[in-house]
Amino acid sequence: MTDRLKVAVLVSGHGSNLQALIDACQKPGFPAQIVRVISNVKEAFGIQRASRAGIPHSVIDHLNFENRTDFEARLNGELESCNAELVCLAGFMRLLTGSFVEKWYGRLVNIHPSLLPAFKGLDTHARALAAGVKIAGCTIHYVSRDMDAGPIIAQAAVPVMPNDNEDILAARVLKQEHVIFPMALKMIAEKRVKITDGCVRIDGTSLDDDVIVSPTLN
């Protein structure tokens, strides 16, 4: 397949979402390929995952730059040099400026470990537990100028159990992140995802009208 969507993945840490994307892209017929992995953290395990998979990778350490603009100029240069058509933020822990986001708008997606618009920002699981929500989850969304506020592409919901702590809930959510990120990438690569009036419409998806209830009566 020659016309696979060229994807760059940005990471800062463990890279389990990157791994889910690598695994998906290695499946025969998957409509996207990862052309570059970039980390802003030298020690990020995600870089080793890229190396193991034979994917070109680089570290652009933000600490080596005077300001965000210089850092992003370098980042942008790398993304353009590998002809990235889509940029996936997969645990990339660096806020991007409005001008970078505008430049890549519609070609820049992020994964966030909550059911947006609830719990934007950090420590989502601790805040979800403190709020006593009964359903948690994760979101894939386009990145816009406002943090964690861009058009939502896909979400997965999981129940919050009575004895959950932050780590247990995070693990349950993370498992679903690994499902919906490749799924969203596939739909984008198939050009089925459109942003209209700030919301995403997806061609040809089937929806299950079952209600999700937590807790359930039994």
CB of 76 to ligand GRF, least distance (A): 21
- The residues of the shown chain that bind ligand GRF, judged by CB under 6 A, are 13-17, 90-91, 111-113, 174, 177
Cβ distance to ligand GRF smaller for residue 45 or 65: 45
CB of 111 to ligand GRF, least distance (A): 4
Beta strand pairing call for 57-59 and 199-202: unpaired
Give the Cα-Cα-Cα angle 9, 92, 34 (nearest 5 degrees). Answer: 5
Cβ distance to ligand GRF smaller for residue 113 or 159: 113
CB of 218 to ligand GRF, least distance (A): 31
Catalogue the active-site residues.
Answer: 112
Residues 6+ away with beta carbon under 8 Å from 161: 168, 169
Amino acid making up residue 52: R
Cβ distance to ligand GRF smaller for residue 49 or 186: 49
Cβ distance to ligand GRF smaller for residue 17 or 144: 17
Residue-wise DSSP of the chain: ---PEEEEEEESS--HHHHHHHHHHTSTT-SEEEEEEEESSTT-HHHHHHHHTT--EEE--GGGSSSHHHHHHHHHHHHHHTT-SEEEESS--SPPPHHHHHHHTTSEEEEESS-TTSS-SS-HHHHHHHHT-SEEEEEEEE--SSTT-SPEEEEEEEEPPTT--HHHHHHHHHHHHHHHHHHHHHHHHTT-EEEETTEEEETT-----PPP-SSPP-
Cβ distance to ligand GRF smaller for residue 19 or 189: 19
Q: Residue holding tokens 């001008």? A: 99
CB of 176 to ligand GRF, least distance (A): 10
Residue of this chain nearest to ligand GRF (CB atom)? 91
CB of 178 to ligand GRF, least distance (A): 8
